[in-house]
Chain A
Amino acid sequence: MKSLEDLKKMREAALNKVQMREGGKDYRVVVGMATCGIAAGARPVLNRLVEETAANDYNCVVTQTGCIGMCIYEPIVEVFGKEGEHTTYIHVDPDKAARILEEHIKNGHVIEEYTVDAAVNGGK
């Protein structure tokens, strides 16, 4: 059974990790969590992003935003890099989310086929 006391141990572990990684994270992974996103399934996507980031200590912070203005493409995940470069992934599901972290955040490769550009440019 979990108790609030567990947090003391978790605090130590978190502090150690923060010290090791100085200088913050390289990527920001942003999920659209307005009603349109949530209705389209953004909730399990966010959930999976948080789980995978915790399990693999990926070099990113996961955050949320409101309606991105492209409701038909939800769930949407945007990845922002350090130099301000920016990729928009659309129709993301939990498994795609896990792949985005592994390929894009860990290996540095954009997964073109999941991006909004692929959809818009008829890259079917």
Chain B
Amino acid sequence: MMPDLATHLLEIIQNSIAAGARNVCIRVLESIVSNTIVMEVEDDGKGMSEETVRSVTDPFTTSRTTRKVGLGTSFLKGLTDACDGSLSIESELGKGTTVTAKVRRDHIDLPGMGDFGEMIMICIQGAEECDIRFEYGVDENRFLFDTAEVKEMLEGVSIAEPEILIWIRGYINEGIERVKEIGL
């Protein structure tokens, strides 16, 4: 159903945006040393009650009115279960939510990374007013991207202009490639 890790994360970020987050922090941290990939989405959206947190990986939990099952988080749970990993959801009503998924990096059932540049581009496109930070790392090397910085450079021009979105996609993917190369 979900072709790659970026698509899984996109789902989780869309939930943050739907929860009214103004700030979303996304981290994808690979570790060759400990053979893990940690993916984390932290938001300052409306948060969930303890009960919702407990039930959120169950597909029958959704606040949608158009359809009876929620899919995003249960798909991610399926991934972490299948790949020797774990999923943790920490949330507080009125404060925000942090979803952390950890998987074994060399697990045979782990899908590919996918296109993180495109993932961020899609998030910005859908929620221009939200500030999105993206961090990608391989062991101690890091690439950082922050829409707040971009918006400052653009002064008055929308970050959702298609030319800008495409530039951002390329900028992020170049940054990721560079971190991967240093890691080798």
Contacts and interface: CB of A to CB of B under 8 A. Distances in A.
Same complex origin of A and B: yes
Which of A14, A38, A63, A68 gathers most chain B CB within 10 Å? A38
A67 B153 contact: no
A67 B72 CA distance: 12
B134 interface: no
Nearest to B155: A11
Nearest to B8: A38
A39 interface: yes
Contact of A2 (B70, B75, B155, B170): B170
A46 B165 CA distance: 12
Contacts, number: 97
28 contacts: A2-B167, A4-B153, A7-B154, A10-B167, A14-B163, A15-B157, A33-B14, A33-B126, A34-B66, A35-B11, A35-B72, A36-B67, A36-B71, A38-B7, A38-B14, A43-B122, A50-B125, A51-B162, A54-B161, A54-B162, A54-B165, A63-B125, A64-B125, A66-B18, A66-B66, A67-B66, A68-B66, A69-B66
